[in-house]
Structure 1
């Protein structure tokens, strides 16, 4: 059965904000606590701090951005979380938007696919105790992590489109999607992962992890508003708009975020409705091939606060058992 996990549905500013969500993972059937890239409280430090507060729960980083750190630093940080929590970690990486690459590095990656291949391969090799030597155009590295007995760190790759999915099938331990409708996951991304596996001669498929925005319907709002509260920035980003068009979502020219939000709801990329509707929406991801679904209640948290987000998570997790 597909695992359900929990995303921290806000950018934390204090560790105590995260503790109720860590407690939820600790005390329910949730598999992992996830956080994406944060420019406020750094995600690796968040997980280590939460472990120090008494919640040593499995962690997922989905995703941190490659321009921010050398692969050696990335491997060190991910293993540090595994050591601090005492649990396996899924460390996902993404190239980030083109403008973000320019802002941090001075120029965009000449080939995001080549960069992702080199980066993920380097992090995996470092975590396996190997000496890595690279003098590529995107990063320079000669190093080897000092030995340490630690829980395993799986290296994941953020995936929106077929090219990155094929690459993940070749080199990654996990495929991490965000806002991808279940039909697109099933018909486009999963087959592309299989193509990559075949090319690399791999027999074990990377875990498919779907970050799914979700919220139980409330009388005082509508699905479109909830979807906008959850994903406004993503719905305006060119690479997400391209993915949604490929998925058959009618987002028009991309300038009308309300139209885009309606399209995401219509294609099942935002899961909402009553509890039965939500469970059916999540089952569509399981049928599409997801091994793990990360419940993203960001929209609920923004509109109604953390107590309501936690209530939705508890309800969904209990009903899914």
Structure 2
């Protein structure tokens, strides 16, 4: 299992420079991958294209870019461009986002989101392989070929519900998870996505599992801090469903927290569950946490 790092959007006068420094340190520390989200700050793909040209070697991925505001042809074109700029080191993570964002803020219909993702992938995936697409669905229409250089781009989808997990295994290259605990990964995510890939005759899918991490002797304070920092995720329906499946009251209950031995044991459980990439979102006691994570590489 590979160990990567998750970075939130930095603030200040030079957010791209700040993120560049953080990712450069991660690369220097030997981490194989770094991931950022696309919410309301920096555009994730543009940022990684800029940062990655000065930070060699490390895989850079999005976790995740919402699908609805970008036509899949536009998404494919931009992602292939970023991948070309990074010499094939880019991984595109996409997701549905949430009804409150897509419907209430952007004004798109969030009706039958799994149908939308299936149609989106029906266009996106062939375009990333350099193929022509002639497709007319209920939510997406595309008649085009891209001349953007490069193929071989990996596409992961944020998949939690059964239909989405099937798409992640059968059509995409795997899933990227957030706020999903080890029990849910082992009993719900990995069996479903693996079976879908096998049925489709595809290789083992990637299971990228991102969770908050803190190495500390004060477990109760750290979990309370995680509940505070990540409170919003405990209220969004898709993440709330995964927390309920795990039997977790809030984000603090799925955070990977404890001393070095305890955190190592929790990460080992994820590896045994079938996680291919563990991505740590450091949120407290960062120096101690980073030193420990470096020791796992």
> Is TM > 0.5 for Structure 1 vs Structure 2?
yes
The aligned runs of 1:290-301 (5 Å cut-off) are: 290-297=275-282, 299-300=283-284
Verify the 8 A CA contact 1:29 1:317 in the aligned structure 2: no
User: 1:156/1:312 Cα in 2 relative to 1: closer, same or farther (>3 Å)?
Assistant: farther
The number of residues matched between the two structures is: 294
Residue in 1 that maps onto 2:162: 162
Per-residue deviation at 1:219?
4.8
| Structure 1 segments unaligned to the other structure (5+ residues) | 252-259, 301-307
Please point out which of 271, 277, 281 is paired with 2:256: 271
Residue in 2 that maps onto 1:194: 194
Q: Deviations over 1:225-272 (max 9, x none)?
A: 2212442110111221112112233x3xxxxxxxx24xx52xxx2101
| Cα separation, 1, equivalents of 2:52 and 2:170 | 33
Per-residue deviation at 1:287?
0.8
Q: Deviations over 1:118-158 (max 9, x none)?
A: 212321110101111223232222221105146x3101110
| Cα separation, 2, equivalents of 1:12 and 1:138 | 35
Q: Structure 1 residue 284 and structure 2 residue 285: aligned? A: no
Residue in 1 that maps onto 2:292: 316
The aligned runs of 1:300-311 (5 Å cut-off) are: 300=284, 309=286, 311=287
| Cα separation, 1, equivalents of 2:294 and 2:41 | 32
The aligned runs of 1:115-154 (5 Å cut-off) are: 115-149=116-150, 152-154=152-154
| Cα separation, 2, equivalents of 1:313 and 1:44 | 27
User: 1:312/1:162 Cα in 2 relative to 1: closer, same or farther (>3 Å)?
Assistant: farther
Length-normalised TM-score, structure 2: 0.91
Verify the 8 A CA contact 1:11 1:38 in the aligned structure 2: no
| Cα separation, 1, equivalents of 2:217 and 2:122 | 45
User: 1:43/1:65 Cα in 2 relative to 1: closer, same or farther (>3 Å)?
Assistant: same
User: 1:12/1:156 Cα in 2 relative to 1: closer, same or farther (>3 Å)?
Assistant: farther
Residue in 1 that maps onto 2:182: 182
User: 1:104/1:72 Cα in 2 relative to 1: closer, same or farther (>3 Å)?
Assistant: farther
Runs of 4+ in 1 over 6 A off after TM superposition: none
Per-residue deviation at 1:90?
1.5
Residue in 1 that maps onto 2:68: 67
Length-normalised TM-score, structure 1: 0.84
| Cα separation, 2, equivalents of 1:312 and 1:79 | 37
User: 1:174/1:278 Cα in 2 relative to 1: closer, same or farther (>3 Å)?
Assistant: same
Per-residue deviation at 1:107?
4.1
Q: CA RMSD in A?
A: 2.1
Residue in 2 that maps onto 1:58: 59
| Cα separation, 2, equivalents of 1:69 and 1:113 | 16
Verify the 8 A CA contact 1:215 1:226 in the aligned structure 2: no
User: 1:107/1:45 Cα in 2 relative to 1: closer, same or farther (>3 Å)?
Assistant: closer
Per-residue deviation at 1:68?
1.8
Per-residue deviation at 1:312?
4.3
Residue in 1 that maps onto 2:40: 39
| Cα separation, 2, equivalents of 1:78 and 1:319 | 32
Per-residue deviation at 1:319?
1.7
